């Protein structure tokens, strides 16, 4: 079981009260901040492993908090957003947040996101040469991709997209970041992305991959979901 130090930023005491016991029960250390100022101080001084951030803060814009954390830290950030903040949420992800959950969320969903974030945090610190999970293996040095042991032939663009998704496996990757990875320009037409993701899905499924390895997050981006990964 992966545990870590979690910074929980929410101005709703009720939600903090409800979440804290579960996180603690899983062995996480929990720090609570009720506004942006407290959050920034805790993020810089406490050096948490994961930040769970509610976008609706009383004193400052959630995006601003993300920007300021990103200036000096690569700490994974999970955003909590209400459904009417769709644009805010995408902007927050583009600003550098790693994932999101919509309010009202289910506890299990948030805990899964936290696990994925902790995994990324650990894999980053280990600077891996290869990715291996759920039957998918990618060698970052030789650019060889195998699914269930069989080599998968991918075009350079497809490889870049898959690597990007795998590096954030279990987490959402925004269209902008994928476009930047595949085409070098984040403002390219998302239509290309849909076409390449479609081809990638087909190749994965042909080689016996799960039907929905690459999940679509409408309007936001894509998420690689691997069995037995988290």
- 26 or 40: whose CB is closer to another protein? 26
Query: Is residue 153 within the footprint of another protein (CB under 8 A)?
Result: no
- 84 or 153: whose CB is closer to another protein? 84
Query: Is residue 211 within the footprint of another protein (CB under 8 A)?
Result: no
What distance in Å separates the CA atoms of residue 75 and residue 86, rounded to the nearest whole number?
23
- 12 or 132: whose CB is closer to another protein? 12
For 135, other C-beta atoms within 10 Å of its C-beta total: 19
Among 5, 103, 146, 203, binds another protein (CB under 8 A): 103
First vs last C-alpha separation in the chain? 10
Q: What is the DSSP string of 101-114?
A: EEESPPHHHHHHHH
Among 45, 71, 84, 142, binds another protein (CB under 8 A): 84
What distance in Å separates the CA atoms of residue 4 and residue 50, rounded to the nearest whole number?
8
Residues between 9 and 48 with contacts to another protein, criterion CB under 8 A: 11-15, 17-19, 21-22, 25-26, 34
CB of 25 to another protein, least distance (A): 4
Contacts of 66 (CB under 8 A, 6+ apart): 53, 77, 79, 92, 95, 96, 97
- 104 or 149: whose CB is closer to another protein? 104
CB–CB of 152/199 below 8 Å?
A: no
By CB under 8 A, how many residues form the interface with another protein? 25
Query: Is residue 83 within the footprint of another protein (CB under 8 A)?
Result: yes
- 38 or 144: whose CB is closer to another protein? 38
Please report where in the chains the tokens 């029960």 appear, as a residue. Answer: 25
Strands 5-9 and 50-54: parallel
Q: From 45-53, 78-86, 141-149, 163-171, give the range in contact with another protein by CB under 8 A.
A: 78-86
Strands 214-217 and 172-174: unpaired
- 92 or 178: whose CB is closer to another protein? 92
Residues between 105 and 134 with contacts to another protein, criterion CB under 8 A: 105-108, 110
Sheet order of strands, 130-133 included: 130-133, 136-139, 144-147, 150-152
What are residue 193's DSSP bridge partners?
A: none
CB of 99 to another protein, least distance (A): 17
CB of 190 to another protein, least distance (A): 26
Summarize as ranges the residues that interact with another protein (CB under 8 A): 11-15, 17-19, 21-22, 25-26, 34, 56, 58, 82-84, 103-108, 110
């Amino acid at each position: 079981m992966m545990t870590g130090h979690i910074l929980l930023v929410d101005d709703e005491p009720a939600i903090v009260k409800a979440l804290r016991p579960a996180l603690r029960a899983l062995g996480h250390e929990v720090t609570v901040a009720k506004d942006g100022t407290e959050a920034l101080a805790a993020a810089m001084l406490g050096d948490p492993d994961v930040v769970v951030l509610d976008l609706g803060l009383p004193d400052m814009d959630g995006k601003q908090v993300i920007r300021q954390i990103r200036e000096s830290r690569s700490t994974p950030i999970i955003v909590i957003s209400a459904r009417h903040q769709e644009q805010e949420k995408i902007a927050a992800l583009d600003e550098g947040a790693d994932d999101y959950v919509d309010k009202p969320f289910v506890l299990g969903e948030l805990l899964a996101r936290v696990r994925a974030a902790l995994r990324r945090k650990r894999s980053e610190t280990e600077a891996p040469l290869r990715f291996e999970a759920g039957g998918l293996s990618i060698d970052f040095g030789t650019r060889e991709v195998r699914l269930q042991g069989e080599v998968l032939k991918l075009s350079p663009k497809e490889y870049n997209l898959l690597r990007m998704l795998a590096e954030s496996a279990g987490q959402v990757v925004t269209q902008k970041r994928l476009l930047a990875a595949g085409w070098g320009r984040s403002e390219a037409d998302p239509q290309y992305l849909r076409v390449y993701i479609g081809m990638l899905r087909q190749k994965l499924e042909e080689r016996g991959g799960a039907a929905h390895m690459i999940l679509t997050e409408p309007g936001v981006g894509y998420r690689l979901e691997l069995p037995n990964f988290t």
